[in-house]
Amino acid sequence: DTGVSQNPRHKITKRGQNVTFRCDPISEHNRLYWYRQTLGQGPEFLTYFQNEAQLEKSRLLSDRFSAERPKGSFSTLEIQRTEQGDSAMYLCASSSQGDGVPQHFGDGTRLSIL
């Protein structure tokens, strides 16, 4: 059973640098979600795609953040000009269509800003 895969698992970078994370969803899932989780808090929704269309973006997603899912398969999340406050776990999830269907999460990319 191939689950949701995220790369890299850890990223350390200096403030002001750009970073990009990749998410490979479960292959038959057409919905893909990005969340952010800081220490001691539950995950917070950032954005989601249905196939290649980005359907919703949270107010948490500042203009330094951009997400793409060019062919409706894998997705990338880019953060430009990183800030200390961007340090967090970035989680990806995917789901199929239908009422009641659950989301399946990857183990995340942990971003540390020096």
Site for other proteins in 59-98 (CB under 8 A): 91, 93, 95-98
Report in angstroms how near the CB of residue 68 gets to other proteins at its nearest: 17
Q: In the 3-class helix/strand/coil scheme, how is 7-21 assigned residue by residue? A: ECCEEEECCCCCEEE
Both tokens of residue 112? 């540390």
Please tell me whether residue 54 binds other proteins under the rule CB under 8 A.
Answer: no
Q: Are 75 and 92 in contact (CB under 8 A)?
A: yes
Report in angstroms how near the CB of residue 80 gets to other proteins at its nearest: 22
In the complex with other proteins, the residue whose CB is nearer, 96 or 112, is 96
Please tell me whether residue 112 binds other proteins under the rule CB under 8 A.
Answer: no
∠ Cα 82 83 85 (to 5°): 125
